[in-house]
């Protein structure tokens, strides 16, 4: 499979009161055609900022310092806003985190969906409406004609998320970026939405970049997983190897905090002490040092992100040297 998306040495900073705070630090990753990549980490690690940068949707105080974002051989960072507009919705689309605030509350579902189809596909009003109904049925909304006439507040959270997925799929994109798409939905609906995404991904042979902190979703959906902490990638490998042989202490801590059906019923879940540091650009060594049970003095030195096993990258010198035994 060829690489559909390549992100190289991407660094992003927020400028606040004339001070530059780097929130994404020289990250590199790629997505192949038809592949599902999951980026995992706690809130505040830089996952959503990384995702938004791909579509050029960063806020006014956020700036890309360096790097390149190459989609199908084209560097998106060298394109004008007009050129990027042609790619958004056509080749790359996004399903946002806060579904309740993603749809326009004063326009009907039909108006919002047909507008996307009309702008990007050039369909006339009648044909766009017919296609919109077809897409709503495709995402599991059987009474699609009635849904077209409703306003967002008249739909449940799960139905709104299905509408957002229909909107994202309408123009047949090559890549969908899903930023925690099941946030604020109950567990049953979360499962339905993610199963829907997987079914549609296979049907349309799309690539998906899924941003999440839900390890269960990762195990169910991912082909490849990247663990992100404090603006840096700390581990990357296939989903099977990640769960069988997690290398970085942060990855292990995430997995240990999640219950498993094979666990002893009396086992107590562990928690990760502390929080993600707010300003981490000035930390020279391992950014997980203060929270890590394996940390030693040498961890305060700069850590390199390197491939220590074939296809398995880690940012931890103790893991590279085999000083932290595999579980």
Per residue in 191-228, pLDDT tens? 777 788 888 888 888 999 999 888 878 888 899 999 99
What is the rounded average pLDDT of the residues 124-130? 94
Instruction: Find all residues with CB under 8 Å of 206, minimum gap 6, and list them.
Output: 34, 173, 174, 175, 176, 200
Dig out the tokens for 165 from the structure: 């997925």
Beta-bridged to residue 8, according to DSSP, are 68
Per residue in 135-176, pLDDT tens? 999 998 889 999 999 999 999 888 998 999 999 888 889 999
Q: Residue 262: pLDDT band by 50, 70, 90 thresholds?
A: low
d(CA 230, CA 219): 23
Dig out the tokens for 301 from the structure: 């030195």
Q: Where does the chain show beta strands of DSSP type E?
A: 3-16, 19-32, 36-40, 62-71, 74-75, 92-95, 175-179, 207-212, 224-229, 232-238, 306-309, 312-314
pLDDT: which is higher, 168 or 260: 168
Per residue in 280-310, pLDDT tens? 988 999 999 999 989 999 999 999 999 988 9
pLDDT at 110 over 60: yes
Least confident of 15-19, 64-68, 162-166, 229-233: 15-19
For each of the domains in the chain, give its residue range(s) and CATH number, in order of start. Answer: 3-320 (3.40.50.300)
């Amino acid at each position: 499979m060829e690489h559909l998306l390549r992100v190289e040495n991407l660094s992003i900073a927020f400028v606040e009161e004339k001070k530059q705070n780097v929130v994404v630090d020289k990250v590199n990753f790629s997505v192949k055609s038809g592949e599902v990549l999951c980026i995992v980490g706690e809130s505040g690690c830089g996952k959503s900022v990384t995702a938004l940068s791909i579509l050029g949707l960063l806020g006014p105080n956020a700036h890309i310092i360096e790097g390149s974002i190459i989609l199908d051989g084209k560097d998106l960072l060298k394109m004008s806003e007009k050129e990027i507009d042609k790619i958004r919705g056509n080749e790359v689309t996004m399903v946002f985190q806060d579904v309740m605030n993603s749809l326009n509350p004063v326009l009907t579902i039909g108006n919002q969906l047909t507008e996307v189809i009309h702008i990007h596909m050039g369909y006339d009003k009648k044909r766009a409406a017919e296609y919109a109904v077809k897409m709503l049925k495709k995402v599991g909304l059987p009474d699609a004609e009635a849904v077209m006439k409703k306003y967002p507040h008249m739909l449940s959270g799960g139905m709104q998320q299905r509408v957002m997925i229909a909107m994202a799929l309408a123009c047949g994109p090559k890549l969908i970026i899903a930023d925690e798409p099941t946030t604020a939905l109950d567990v049953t609906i979360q499962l339905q939405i993610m199963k829907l995404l997987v079914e549609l991904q296979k049907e349309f042979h799309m690539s998906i970049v899924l941003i999440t902190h839900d390890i269960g979703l990762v195990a169910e959906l991912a082909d490849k997983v990247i663990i992100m902490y404090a603006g840096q990638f700390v581990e990357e490998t296939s989903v099977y190897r990640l769960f069988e042989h997690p290398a970085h202490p942060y990855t292990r801590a995430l997995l240990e905090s999640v219950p498993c059906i094979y666990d002893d019923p009396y086992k107590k879940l562990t928690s990760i002490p502390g929080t993600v540091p707010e300003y981490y650009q000035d930390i020279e060594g391992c950014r997980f040092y203060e929270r890590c049970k394996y940390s030693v003095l040498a961890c305060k030195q700069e850590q390199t992100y390197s491939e220590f096993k074939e296809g398995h990258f880690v940012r931890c010198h103790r893991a590279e040297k085999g000083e932290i035994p595999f579980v």
